[in-house]
Amino acid sequence: MSFDYDLFVIGAGSGGVRAARLAAQLGLRVAVAEEDRPGGTCVLRGCVPKKFMVYASEYSEHMDSARGFGWTHASLGNFDWNLFKDKNAAELTRLSQIYTSNLVKAGVEVISAHAAFKDAHRLTLTAKEGGRREVSAKLILIATGGWPFLPRHCPGVAEHGLTSNEMFNLPELPRSLAIVGGGYIAVEFAGIMHGLGVDVSLVYRGEKLLRGFDDDVRQHLTNEMTLRGIKIFTHLDPVHLKKTPEGILMTMNDGTSMVRDQVLYASGRKPKTEGLNLEAVGIVTDMHGAVPVDEFSRTNVPHVYAIGDVTNRVNLTPVAIREAIAFVETALKSNPTSFNYENIPTAVFSQPQIGTVGLTEEEAKASNLSYDVYQTRFRPMKSAFVNSESRIYMKLIVDTASDVVVGVHIVGGDAGEIIQLAGIAVKARLTKSQWDATCAVHPTASEELVTLKDKRVS
């Protein structure tokens, strides 16, 4: 049987783009269908625009510090949301065009359309303008990513709730904002909007923010966010939203209520599989809507693969890219390759930032590992000089038997930058003795990582 393409990729996010480019560079006939524009969640509505917002929001704290360092006339004036928003949008357009250009240069056909399965090897492409056509492919890669969702149990949320997608294009900044959720998106937007001058309340139904992170990290971040003036409410969940002249009235599960100008739901994302017509090829999604795959990103259909957030494994851009590389090795080079998900460094661009790699203490305990903890909380030089109470937290988890550092957790300025290098050491299974033998860089906050000597006494 002849096919129109050797490989057809559904979705032009980071994983899909990398797979398509690598495949085309092998001389194969490759196409990628994207119903929005190339770039995916990370470039268009996720980590990239959000990081620009983080940069913008940090200047208010920089100005407070500047006055403490002697800048007597340090002042920001008013933040121009529309000016920033237009600049941000222009930069995203530039980056998306680079993605498109790189695909075309590699020989990939970029198709602006929604793709859905017709049968085992055929896809139906529906353009935004309404035109439809069918194509066939020998191999098909699903890389459609994830999408934020609004909970259905809360009346009024569909009409009055925002998702993270809308936060980059608000007509104006609200005076007050409630953020529902306790994950990384929630705490990142809490820091961003607070830094831009918005009165922020974070509402979370759980006991502690950032479920799945190390407990000490969770508590330290909560303390730091509260110190900065962000209001945090736990064990609370909206059960009804109603528009009033004063704003959006949120009625809570405990009978209390609050009114805020806007309500952001950052309570989760789900794999974007709706509309793919997966049943046409016999692929059944799991309870979360994800495409089940094996260690080589293969679905139950031999010639259909899936990578990235649509598989709901580890939902990070660099992971999707690594999965794409492994897919090309496996499916196109006859070199079965799987990605190792152990010890992936992760950053949360909260304020202050979190950097983490390896085991949390809770994971170490659950695995019955005998471990030691080295930790420190301290005011960095910058905070101490301006009499700020903000502190950095660092924690090392060490396997007692082997002396290998199996977990590193940092909460503080530039933690996202620091954890990349700490990730190399953890991935290489360096011992605490080797960390200790590394000369410190002084004066820096990160030198604490190689000067921690005292074990925590339980």
CATH number where 359 lies: 3.30.390.30
Residue 73 binned pLDDT confidence (cut-offs 50, 70, 90): confident
- Residue 67 in domain: no
| 170 in the same domain as 107 | no
Other beta carbons less than 10 A from residue 1's beta carbon: 5
Pairing of strands 346-348, 354-358: antiparallel
**Among 245, 267, 289, where does a domain finish?**
267
- Amino acid code (one letter) for 7: L
Q: What are phi and psi of 215, to 5 degrees?
A: -60, -40
| 258 in the same domain as 164 | yes
Rounded Cα gap, residues 270 and 289, in angstroms: 7
| 258 in the same domain as 110 | no
Residue in 73, 121, 160, 442 annotated catalytic: 442
Report how far apart, in Å, the C-alpha atoms of 122 and of each of 7, 12, 113, 125 are: 12, 19, 15, 10
Residue 78 binned pLDDT confidence (cut-offs 50, 70, 90): confident
| 128 in the same domain as 34 | yes
pLDDT in tens, 181-218: 999 999 999 999 999 999 999 999 999 999 999 999 99
**Among 218, 247, 267, where does a domain finish?**
267
Instruction: Assign residue 194 the CATH number of its domain.
Output: 3.50.50.60
Residue 107 near residue 30, CB atoms below 8 Å: yes
- Residue 458 in domain: no
- Residue 455 in domain: no
Whether 100 has a pLDDT exceeding 70, the answer reads yes
| 357 in the same domain as 304 | no
| 142 in the same domain as 13 | yes
| 375 in the same domain as 444 | yes
Q: CB under 8 Å, gap of 24 or more: what pairs does 92-101 form?
A: 92/39, 92/43, 92/44, 92/48, 92/49, 95/39, 95/43, 95/48, 96/37, 96/38, 96/39, 96/43, 96/44, 99/12, 99/17, 99/38, 99/39, 99/43, 100/37, 100/38
3-state class of 316 per DSSP?
Answer: coil
Pairing of strands 30-34, 5-10: parallel
| 165 in the same domain as 137 | no
- Residue 456 in domain: no
3-state secondary structure 4-41: CEEEEEECCCHHHHHHHHHHHCCCCCEEEEECCCCCHH
pLDDT in tens, 349-397: 999 999 999 999 999 999 999 999 999 999 999 999 999 999 999 999 9
| 350 in the same domain as 325 | no
Residue 128 binned pLDDT confidence (cut-offs 50, 70, 90): confident
Domain containing 436 equals 346-450
- Residue 340 in domain: no
| 255 in the same domain as 163 | yes
| pLDDT given for residue 74 in this prediction | 66
Rounded Cα gap, residues 282 and 203, in angstroms: 40
Residue 271 near residue 252, CB atoms below 8 Å: no
For the chain, the average pLDDT equals: 96
Average pLDDT over residues 424-429: 98
**Residue 442 appears among annotated catalytic residues:** yes
Residue 449 near residue 414, CB atoms below 8 Å: no
